[in-house]
Structure 1
Amino acid sequence: MQVIDWDLAVATGTRLVRPGPQVSREEARQAVVELRRLSREAEGYVREFTRIEAEAPPQPATVVDRPGWIRANAEGFRVVLEPLTERMANRRNPPPALLTAVGSRVTGVEVGAVLAFLATRVLGQYELFLPPDPSGQAPTGRLTLVAPNIVHAERELGVHARDFRLWVCLHEETHRVQFTGVPWLREYVRSQMTEFLLAADLDLQTLLDRLKQAVDAVADAVRGGESTLLDAIQSDEQKAVLDRLTAVMTLVEGHGDFVMDAVGPSVVPSVAEIRGKFQHRREGGSRFDRTLRRLLGIDLKMKQYAEGSAFVHAVVDAVGMEGFNRVWTSPETLPTQAEFADPAAWIARVVNPREIPSAAAN
C-alpha cells in the first residue's frame, strides 16, 4: 500500500519549484567547489570547539540544486514513513484500492507542492534518513548544501560570499558532528519518529475528522492565528511523543546556532553583519510567505533556534563545554521542555546531582 505517490510528489515539486538565481556555468562550478571545501574546513573548527569526536571519517558535503533537494527529501520521507505504510498494508480491513490510489495521488501532489516551497528556502541540512545501501558501505547520514539558495541568500543580503558560505557550513557541520559523534542520537530520533507515526489513528472516520481540522487550521493561519497543520492532525498520544521530539530538535538546532556564533568571530570576519541581516531575513517575507511558514511549523523551528541557543549559552557559561557535553550521555540527560527555560534545573539534575544519603549514614 502506498500512502503517498512519491514519484508524483517529486514530479510535482520539480515542476513547481522556482529556478535559482542566474549564474554562469563557471560561477556555479566555483560555488560547488568552494562549498565542499568550506564544509571540510568548518568540520575541523566544529570538532575542535565542541570536543565531540566521531569514529566515522568525515565525508565531503553533497551539493545539490533545488530539484536535487526535492528528490533527496522525498527519498528520506519515504524511509521515515515506511513503518506506517507497512502497518496500513497489514490491516485486517484495508481501505478500498480505488480510495487508496486516489488518496495517494492527491497526497503526492500536496507533498510535492510543500517540497517546492521549502526547496527555495533551505540552505542546508544533515539528512538522517537515507535509503538502505545494499553494499553496507555508505555513511548513515549525509550533509547536503543547496547551492542556489546559498547564492541567492548571500546576494539578497549583500554580504561577503565566502564568509556567508563558511557561516552556513558551521551550522550544518555541527549537525553532522552531533549525529556522527553521539552514537545513540540518530536511533533515538528515528525511534521517536516511528512511535509518533504508529500512534496515528488510522480509521476512516478519524482521518476525515483530522482532514476537517487541517482545513480549519489553514483558515486560522490565513487569518493570522497560531494554528499549524501538525497541531491539527495529531492524536493525544502523538502529542506526548512530539514533546520529546521537539526537545531533542530544540537542543540540536540551538547547539548548531550556538556553535555557529561562537566559532564565527574567529574565522568569519563579517559574522556580526551576517547574523544581523540573516535574522532580519528570517523574520521577514510577504504575508503569504509568513502564513505558510506558520502553517508548516517553520516559525516553530525558528523559535527552537532561539530557545535552544539560549539554553546552551547558559549551561556553557555556568559549567563549561565539558559540563554541557554531559547532555549527550543518553536520552535521559536531554533537557526537558521545562529545563530549556530553566538551565539551572538541568545542571542540578545532570551535571551536579545531589547524592541521596545512604541508610548507613543515618
Structure 2
Amino acid sequence: MTSLGGVEMVDWNLAVATATRLVRPGPEVSREGARAVVSELRRHAKSSEEHVRDFTRMYPDRPAESDTPVLVVDRPGWVRANVAGFRELLSPLLEKVQERRASTPGGAVLGAVGGKVTGVEVGMLLSFLASRVLGQYETFAPATRELPGGADGSGRLLLVAPNIVHVERELDVAPHDFRLWVCLHEETHRTQFAAVPWLRDHIRGEIQSFLGETEMDPSTLLERLREAAQSLSGSRTQGEGTAAEDGETTENGRAGLVELVQTPAQREILGRLTAVMSLLEGHADYVMDGVGPDVVPSVGEIREKFQKRRATGAGKLDQALRRLLGLDAKLRQYREGERFVRAVVEELGMDGFNRVWTSPNTLPTKSEIGRPADWIARMRS
C-alpha cells in the first residue's frame, strides 16, 4: 500500500492489536469441549456441500474445498482475516486519499498521527463486530502465514466458533442442529462463488469502480471505513434491528453514512452492489431453511428464536451501535433477498431461478429485488 514517508494511511497492525485487546472473551468452554466444537463444525461444513448442491442444483467444476479452505477461528482470528481483506480491497481508495494528503502542508506529520488514530478506531469497530459474526465467506482473502487462502486468492470460509457456541446457548437450541444450520448458510455462499466463476471478478470490479469514483478528504475516511467494514465483508451477525434502506432516512432522522460521500455514478454502482448482495444473502437464507427440515430436525424452532433475537438485539447500546454502523440495513438485504428467491422459485422452479447466475446481465436490479415479477418478465421476454 502506498505510504507517505513510510507511514501508512491506516496503521493496520495497530487496528489488529486494538481489536484483539478490546474484544470480549468468548463463552467458557473446556479445552476438550473446544476441540469437539471445532471438529464438529468442520464435519458440518463438509457435509453441507452435498446438501446445498443437491438442493440448489449448483455444481462447481471442481470441489469447493480445492479453492476455498474452511477455517474455524476465534474472535482474534476473525479480526486478522478481515484486516487482511480490507487492506487489499481498500488500497485504491487509501492511495487516493494518500495522494491528496501528500500535497497538504504538514501532511507527513498528520499522516503519522492519523494512521495511528484511524488504526485505533478501526480496531474498536472490529472488536464490536468480532463478537457478533457467526460465519463468513470471505470473498477476497489474501493468504497469510496464519490464515491460508484459496487458490489464486479465491476466498475462504470462516466459522467463528466462540460466537456460534454463545448464540446456541443463548437461544437454548440443540447445538448439533444450530451448528449445521449455520454451516448450510455459509456453504451456500461458497457454492455460489465456486459454481459461478465470473461472480467474484464481477463484484470486485463493481467495488473497485465504486471506490474509484470516491472523492474525499482524509476527515471522511473513517466514515467510509465504517461503511466498508459492514458492507464489504459479507459478515453474518447474531442480531440486527429494523431501519431504513440505503438512501433513506434512518430512525434518528439522519441520512446513512453512505449518503455523505456518494456521487451519481456511485449511486448507480451501489444500487447494483446492493442488489447482488441481497441476492446472495437471501439465497443463502432460503437454502439453509429449505435444506433444514431434512437434515436439521429443529430448524423451525431455531429460525423462530434466531429471528426474534435478530429483531430485538442485545440491548440499547447494541442497537445504537448497529444503527451507526448500518447493520440494520443488512437485515433488509436478508429479508428482501429471501423473498425474491422464494417468489422466483415458486414461479419458475429451481432451474428457472438458476438463470440468475448466467451472467451479470441476468442478475436482478435493485428494483427487481423488491418486485420479483419484473425480473421474471424480463427473463421471459
TM-score under structure 1 length normalisation: 0.89
| Correspondence 1:240 to 2:271 | no
Query: Which residue of structure 2 lines up, in the alignment, with residue 167 of structure 1?
Result: 181
Partner of 1:356: none
Q: In structure 2, what is the Cα distance between the partners aligned to 1:226 and 1:282? A: 23
- Hey, what does 2:299 align to over in structure 1? 271
Distance 1:144 1:252 in 2: 17
Larger of the two Rg values belongs to structure: 1
Once residues 253 and 318 of structure 2 are traced to their aligned partners in structure 1, the CA distance between those partners, rounded to angstroms, is: 14
Q: What's the offset of the Cα at 1:88?
A: 4.2
Q: Do residues 30 (structure 1) and 36 (structure 2) align?
A: yes
1:175 counterpart letter in structure 2: H
Q: What is the match of residue 327 of structure 1?
A: 356
Equivalent of 1:191 in 185, 205, 216: 205
Q: CA deviation at 1:338?
A: 1.3
Q: How big is the shift at 1:223? A: 7.6
- Unmatched runs of 5 consecutive residues or more in structure 2: 228-248
Residue 347 of structure 2 is aligned to residue 347 of structure 1: no
Q: Report the more deviating stretch, 277-286 or 158-167.
A: 277-286
| Structure 1 residue corresponding to 2:308, chosen from 268, 280, 293 | 280
Mapping of 1:279-298 within 5 angstroms?
279-284=307-312, 285-298=314-327
Contact 2:142 2:153 in 1 (8 A): no
Superimposed CA distance per residue, residues 316-335 of structure 1 (whole angstroms, 9 cap, x where no aligned partner): 00000111000011111111
* Distance in structure 2 (CA, Å) of the matches to 1:92 and 1:298: 30
Q: Give the C-alpha shift of residue 137 in structure 1.
A: 4.5
Match of 1:82 in 2: 91
Whole-Å separation in 2 of the counterparts to 1:70 and 1:53: 31
Residue 72 (str. 1) matches residue 114 (str. 2): no
Q: Map 1:41-60; keep pairs closer than 5 Å.
A: 41-59=47-65, 60=69
Q: Residue in 1 aligned with 2:365?
A: 336
SS of the equivalent of 2:181 reads: helix
Q: Partner of 1:123: helix, strand, or coil?
A: strand
Report the CA distance shift for 1:147/1:133 in structure 2 as closer, same or farther (over 3 A): closer
| CA drift at 1:160 | 0.1
Q: Could you tell me the TM-score, scaled by structure 2's length? A: 0.84
Pairwise CA distance, 1:297: 1.3
Secondary structure in structure 1 of the residue aligned to 2:64: coil
Q: Is the 8 Å Cα contact of residues 44 and 179 (structure 2) preserved in structure 1?
A: yes
Once residues 10 and 65 of structure 1 are traced to their aligned partners in structure 2, the CA distance between those partners, rounded to angstroms, is 14
1:125 and 2:153 equivalent?
Answer: no
> Counterpart amino acid of 1:69?
W
Name the stretch that deviates more: 98-107 or 110-119: 98-107
Alignment match, 1:358: none
Q: Is the 8 A contact 1:253 1:304 kept in 2?
A: yes
- Counterpart of 2:113 (choices 102, 109, 114) is 102
SS of 1:201's equivalent in the other structure is: coil
SS of 1:335's equivalent in the other structure is coil
Give 3-state SS (helix, strand or coil) of 2:16's partner: helix
- Aligned position for 1:6: 12
Number of residues of Structure 1 aligned to a counterpart in Structure 2: 343
CA distance in 1, matches of 2:262, 2:351: 38
Name the residue aligned to 2:288.
Answer: 260
Inter-partner Cα distance in structure 2 for 1:50 and 1:67? 33
Contact 1:254 1:312 in 2 (8 A): yes
How many angstroms apart in 1 are the aligned matches of 2:77 and 2:56? 31
3-state DSSP class of the match of 2:90? helix
Distance 1:222 1:92 in 2: 32
Q: Does the CA-based 8 Å contact 2:150-2:156 persist in structure 1?
A: no
Q: How far does residue 241 in structure 1 lie from its aligned partner after superposition?
A: 1.5
Letter in 2 for 1:172: E
Q: Percent identity?
A: 57
Aligned equivalents of 1:319 and 1:223: distance in 2?
Answer: 37
SS at 1:62 equivalent = strand
